[in-house]
Amino acid sequence: MTSVGSLRVLIAPDSFKGSLSSVEVARGLADGWARARPGDELILAPLADGGEGTLSAIAESGGWEWMECPAHDPLLRPLTARWLRSLDGKRGAMELAEVSGLSRLPRDEPRSPLAATTDGTGEILRAVLDASVRHVMIGVGGSATTDGGAGLLRGLGARFGSSSGGSGTSGGSVVPRARLLGPVPDLGSVDLSGLDPRLEELEVRVACDVTNPLLGEQGAAAIYGPQKGAWPQDVAALDAWLTRYADLLEEASGVRARDRAGAGAAGGAGFGLMCLEPRLRSFDLIPGVELLMQETGFDESLARADLVITGEGQVDSQTAFGKTALGVAQRAAAAGLPCFAVGGSVTLEGAAVMVGAGAVAVPVLDGPMTLGEAMDGASSLVVSAGERLARIVELAGAAAMRQSRP
């Protein structure tokens, strides 16, 4: 068989949530591809949407070093958190999920949606400032919290008072398992005068794919509270608390942000960050995939490629709403490059979305199996999918060369 010439293949998937990180998916596809076409140049550019795995995807692009700092999990238990600093020391990247994410709570532990706070995220941001970094990317997906970013602000020096005169839970104490509402259950005041003055030197870019407002039927509590363990009565209590909190924080900050797209991100942490905007040197909220592409030099990698492979856990009707696979496919089409999109599963709707973007969706499954079996065998399935794609390209290239003969 005549072989198609050497190719430069850009492999830029999202994670297969619950089974493989985007770094693991990219490496698996590359390993499989190399089995069939060892002479090709493989360019790995794993992506993320701002949630868990964002830091790993950025670190994989090179030019970063891992940093550590003490912080607290969603229930204010101490831990060691990681963030990234560029090798020149000028830029930083951090994940809310690293300390305030659902993944920080053991699966067998009862959820505490009314008690969980983002204090740890504020502690990482303070560590970023302590390291003299003044340009930071913050990924805000995957939170366990619905505190409107109050804990984050408290980690930066904000103070919250109760209507009865108390000052609320201290950042270093352990929250009791009793249900609480935010940092202060009976919130009576918000004082921003103690915020870290170095914030005025800080440029912040927030990676966020969520467009929900803070409050109401489409807000942080109603839409995302149940997946964090909130019962209907909890959702109502959280939304009422967030309404009171928004009244006080908007008055203190001079910012009206509750209805802005993304205010409901990460349990309202998007709202808390928006209210910091007047105190920051600059602030931008950017779709997660777009921001990750900027941070990882995706466009430079795309300019070198002959073929693109992307993917995500499920290529379905939701892929049309700005998910990673669609974003990569659209960039590939604009560059005139062919694109495959691999998925843990691919629905007819998802395949149609990808065709509309000029890409072909390919499931990684190679036979009938349960979801559990697919997740347990995800690594080998991804490697096999990479090899199949390479052999398809080999066959297509050979056929094209045959047809070009006189």
Locate all alpha helices (DSSP H) within 254-377, ordered by sequence: 265-274, 288-296, 298-304, 324-334, 348-356, 371-376
CA atoms within 13 A on the CB side of 176: 6
Domains of the chain: 8-45+297-403 (3.40.50.10350), 54-289 (3.90.1510.10)
Give the neighbor-by-neighbor strand order of the sheet with 339-346: 41-44, 8-11, 307-315, 339-346, 359-363
User: pLDDT of 189-204, one tens digit each?
Assistant: 999 999 999 999 999 9
- 272 in Cβ contact with 150 (< 8 Å): yes
Give the per-residue pLDDT at 405.
47
Backbone angles phi, psi at 239, to 5 degrees: -65, -40
Q: Does the structure show a pLDDT above 70 at 173? A: no
List for the chain the helix, strand, coil content (%; round to 5): 40, 20, 40
Distance CA 151, CA 204 (A): 18
C-alpha dist (Å) from residue 267 to 21, 252, 284: 23, 20, 18
Distance CA 392, CA 44 (A): 20
pTM of the model: 0.83
Distance CA 279, CA 258 (A): 18
User: pLDDT of 205-223, one tens digit each?
Assistant: 999 988 899 999 999 999 9
Give the per-residue pLDDT at 258.
97
Over residues 235-259, mean pLDDT: 96
* DSSP, res 276: T
Question: Could you identify the residue written with the tokens 């209210």?
Answer: 275
Which residues are CB-contacts of 122 (< 8 A; sequence separation ≥ 6)? 151, 152, 153, 154, 155, 156
Give the per-residue pLDDT at 175.
34
Q: Does the structure show a pLDDT above 50 at 172? A: no
Strands 307-315 and 8-11: parallel
Which residues are CB-contacts of 353 (< 8 A; sequence separation ≥ 6)? 315, 317, 319, 320, 326
Distance CA 301, CA 240 (A): 47
Give the per-residue pLDDT at 280.
98
Give the per-residue pLDDT at 1.
36
If we measure between CA atoms, which residue out of 100, 171, 103 comes closest to residue 140? Answer: 100
Over residues 151-166, mean pLDDT: 85
CA end-to-end distance (rounded Å), the chain: 18
Q: State both tokens at 118.
A: 């983002």
User: pLDDT of 335-386, one tens digit each?
Assistant: 999 999 999 888 899 899 999 999 999 998 877 777 777 777 788 999 999 9
Distance CA 168, CA 12 (A): 45
Q: Which residues pair with 91 in a beta bridge?
A: 135
Q: Does the structure show a pLDDT above 90 at 157? A: yes
Binned at pLDDT 50, 70 and 90, residue 282 comes out as very high
Give the per-residue pLDDT at 59.
93
Q: Does the structure show a pLDDT above 70 at 309? A: yes
Distance CA 19, CA 139 (A): 20
Binned at pLDDT 50, 70 and 90, residue 273 comes out as very high
Q: State both tokens at 313.
A: 């856990």
C-alpha dist (Å) from residue 78 to 68, 82, 123, 126, 173: 13, 13, 11, 16, 9
C-alpha dist (Å) from residue 313 to 79, 154, 295: 30, 36, 22
Question: Could you identify the residue written with the tokens 């199949």?
Answer: 388
Instruction: Count the Cβ atoms, other than its own, within 10 Å of residue 39.
Output: 9
